[in-house]
Copies of this chain bind each other. A is one copy, B any other.
Amino acid sequence: MAIATVYHIPVCPFSQRLEILLALKGRRAEVDFQVVDITRSRADWLLQKSRGTTALPILEIAGGRILKESLVILQYLEDVFPQPAVAQRDPWRRAVEGMLTRMEGPFTTQGYTFVMNQDPARREALRADMLQHYARLNDFLLEHAGAGPFLFEQFGWAETVFTPLFMRFWFLDYYEAFELPGEERYARVRAWREACLAHPGAQQVSKEQIVKLYYDYAKGAGNGALLPGRARSSFVFEPHWRERPWPPRDKYRHSATDRELGL
């Protein structure tokens, strides 16, 4: 019996956080996930629930009360399902994971800016900026984390927050040939990222799914917007992404048609 409903966009990283947290707590069945098709205009009943805002996910609990913001919802779920704890309980440890969590916003913005870039002249600078973010995470882990691979003993709050982004950034591997260099200055964050990606509680999406669905982001169109010359968004539900071919990697010199994308 579900105690709450999440309205979310398919493969949204901010919604995957909630799924991971619930998986870690063995509570996935207690929250109902309703998928919203962002390739269509937002339904009135949903706009009414959100009082006009369009950002997702939102969480609805008994009495029609609505929570917004994935980190707020995450904390709410942590509080109503306290066992097993995913967030740290000790004040110092909690503050450490809080500091790491606050690095996620700029990291996310950087990754999305990079994938959406359409100017080949900016690629190198964006790549360097992305590496800076990884270097900062590396330094943070060196300062605060144990031997590893996670921040504390187990996959916890910070991992729940970052893992969906590490997974989305598969689009940088594919469309920007971006990879973390095998240098010492990224060694700690590389180990962290790999352990996050491999964790059994975080397998809600796959690289193939991300690469196929985010093709339009790689061409500069976010949130289900339609690209010129295209009739369908890469975020449509049908045909299923498994039935579509892998998109062309070259985002700068080629614009794939609906047909090429299997849409």
User: Quick one: which of B71, B75, B139 contacts A51, CB cutoff 8 A?
Assistant: B139
Chain A, interface SS category: helix
Residue contact B65 to A79, C-beta cutoff 8 Å: no
Question: Is residue A38 contacting chain B, with contact meaning CB distance below 8 A?
Answer: no
Given A51-B139, A102-B69, A139-B51, A76 and B61 contact (CB-CB distance below 8 Å): no
Given A51-B143, A143-B51, A94 and B69 contact (CB-CB distance below 8 Å): no
CB distance from A137 to the nearest CB of B (A): 13
Given A51-B139, A139-B51, A143-B51, A94 and B76 contact (CB-CB distance below 8 Å): yes
CB distance from A88 to the nearest CB of B (A): 10
Point out which of A61, A69, A75, A91 has the most chain B C-beta atoms below 10 A from its C-beta.
Answer: A91
Q: How many copies does the complex hold?
A: 2
User: For A75, what are the chain B residues with a Cβ–Cβ distance below 8 Å?
Assistant: 94-95, 98
Residue contact A102 to B51, C-beta cutoff 8 Å: no
Residue contact B99 to A61, C-beta cutoff 8 Å: no
Question: Is residue A68 contacting chain B, with contact meaning CB distance below 8 A?
Answer: yes
Q: Mark A49-93, 1 if CB is under 8 A from B, else 0.
A: 001000000000100010111011101100110000000000110
Complexed CA–CA distance, A95 and B99 (Å)? 19
Q: 9 additional contacts, CB 8 Å, given A69-B99, A72-B99, A80-B91?
A: A51-B139, A51-B143, A61-B92, A68-B99, A69-B98, A69-B102, A71-B102, A72-B98, A76-B92
Query: Which residues in A have some Cβ–Cβ distance to B below 8 Å?
Result: 51, 61, 65, 67-69, 71-73, 75-76, 79-80, 91-92, 94-95, 98-99, 102, 139, 143
What are 19 sample pairs from A and B whose C-beta atoms fall under 8 A apart?
A: A51-B139, A67-B95, A67-B99, A69-B98, A69-B99, A69-B102, A71-B98, A72-B95, A72-B99, A72-B102, A73-B95, A75-B95, A75-B98, A76-B91, A76-B92, A76-B98, A79-B91, A79-B94, A79-B95
